[in-house]
Amino acid sequence: MRWGIVGHGRIASTFLDAARGVGHEVAAIVGREASRAAVFAANHGIGWAGDELTELVSEVDAIYVATPHSSHRDVAVVLLGAGVPVLCEKPMAVNASQVRQMVEAARSSETFLMEAMWTRHLPVFAAFRRWVDEGRLGEIRMVEASFGFSAPYQPTDRLWAPDLAGGSLLDVGIYPLTLAELAFGTQPSSFDAEAELSPDGVDARLRLVANYSTGGSARLASAINTDLVPNGRIIGTEGIVEIPEFWRAERMTLTSLSGEKVDEVNTPHQINGFEYQIVETARCLEVGAVESPVVTWAWSTTMAETMDEIRSRIGVIYPCDREFL
């Protein structure tokens, strides 16, 4: 495959390494400033760079959108309208209304679209679901997960700026929510949330206690001003699963309730973990699918709806939300 990338932040480099690692080509890159895109291209051996999306279309088979959250919808809708397959960095968009617009654009043009929630593609979680289906955990009662780091407060940085949909929830809080969804197979039926807001009104730190229709619950946390240990723990009536660095998981352990190790999985990434979603995109395009069963359009929509409700409870409203009010 020949890939294009829109955006040239750090995550673009991670994607590029994974794509090349599975034998794909990254042929072109677009950025808001042609000069910065050209520097990125020169530093990474990419043959074409520019600042116009329409010029990128003819150069590639699919495009990875790696811009700030606030522009995901606008970039993807243009590309999908031109019939270009899109792998869009998580979160799919700032809110559920934007996600629905993206899905409608993909459906109307019959063009592939997938949210790049790479965690859902990791082999560890395929093994985890097998353990659950085999009843090795019994009934899942509790999920505990957190993901946070300490970033300096810079009002114009994408992590902190409301115009760029900053805050911990959309950036890293989506990962604990994803782990809980993988465990319970559904979004929360109810929850309590509390947050520490920045001076500009984005969530610097968030804590969530969520209840699920299966009878279990989750204690989840995210932060951009505090280092939190990114480990996941799933507690069932028959066993406990520990997943170090669950968001990029390479291993997990199953223990009995008494603490005895029962089983473990160790699946080191071939490259950096992004390769699995890249391979899945290629598989879907090869068979003519416009939607992946790993990260469906419905999954992206319901996750966005959940995060919309969380933001509503804690009082985080972005400027782009107002177009739907």
Q: ∠140-141-143 over CA atoms, to 5°? A: 90
pLDDT of residue 322: 85
pLDDT of residue 325: 57
Write the pLDDT tens digit of every residue in 140-171. 999 999 999 999 999 999 999 999 999 999 99
pLDDT above 90 as % of the chain: 94
Any idea where the domains of the chain sit in the sequence? 2-118+275-292, 123-266
pLDDT confidence band for 40 (50 / 70 / 90): very high
Mean pLDDT of 9-20: 96
Sheet holding 25-30, edge to edge: 48-50, 25-30, 2-6, 62-65, 86-89, 113-116
Task: Print burial letters for 132-161: b (CB count within 10 Å at least 16), e (below 16).
Answer: beeebbeebbebbbbbbbebeeeeeebbbb
Mean pLDDT of 109-118: 98
Class of the CATH domain delimited by 123-266? alpha beta
The pTM assigned to this predicted structure is 0.96
Residue 227, judged by CB atoms within 10 A of its CB (0-12, 13-18, 19+), counts as exposed
261 part of the active site? no
Side-chain-facing half-sphere of 184: CA atoms under 13 Å = 24
Copy the structure tokens of residue 98: 């934007």
CATH no. of 2-118+275-292: 3.40.50.720
CA dihedral 51, 19, 78, 47 (to 10 degrees): 30
pLDDT of residue 324: 66
Write the pLDDT tens digit of every residue in 270-311. 999 999 999 999 999 999 999 999 999 999 999 999 999 999
Q: Find the length of the chain.
A: 325
Write the pLDDT tens digit of every residue in 49-73. 999 888 888 889 999 999 999 999 9
Determine which one of 8, 24, 73, 90 is catalytic.
90
